[in-house]
Amino acid sequence: MLRLEWVASDDARVRAARALRYEVLMAPFGVPPFHDWGDDDPAAFHLVALDGERVVGYTRLMHRGEEAQLRHVAVAFDAQRTGVGTALMAEACAKATEMGARLVWLNARLPAVAFYERLGFVVTSAEPFASGRTGQLHVRMERRIG
């Protein structure tokens, strides 16, 4: 059964989520392994999705006043399209609301845009832009929550 937990940056499950993030978000694009995921940022709140003890999904919520940014949304390949991503997003948006944010935003890879649109996010960037270590095209998407 799927469980969602907010965990501290030094929690072993955040380390496990690094391997997951690398496998899902970086390796398919040939990005060499790296160590600095920025998980120690004091503004970061880490959400893991667990199937038993296995980390099958992750996202990081960055809270800055009335805005919250979601980063590194990743679901293990063999758990995709089973509702894990939807559950992560619902919990992350609930937490952002609880923290006083009125807007949640993220940079979405183009193949994931339909997933976020289904959850009420809208594209707000005029043009796609290459972003991050992979150089993949992204668009900014936002969802008002307050």
Structure tokens at 105: 């935003």
| 51, 62, 86, 91: which one binds ligand COA (CB under 6 A) | 86
- In whole angstroms, the minimum distance from the beta carbon of 10 to ligand COA comes to 24
Binding mask 45-84 for ligand COA (x = CB under 6 A): ----------------------------xxx----xxxxx
Q: Which stretch binds ligand COA (CB under 6 A): 1-9, 31-39, 103-111, 120-128?
A: 103-111
Cα angle 125, 131, 135 (rounded to 5 degrees) comes to: 130
DSSP letter at 128 equals -
What CA–CA distance (Å, rounded) separates 16 from 142? 28
Nearest to 24 by CA among 106, 112, 130: 112
Nearest to 57 by CA among 29, 88, 82: 88
- In whole angstroms, the minimum distance from the beta carbon of 118 to ligand COA comes to 5
Interface with ligand COA (CB under 6 A): 24-25, 73-75, 80-86, 108-109, 111-112, 114-115, 118
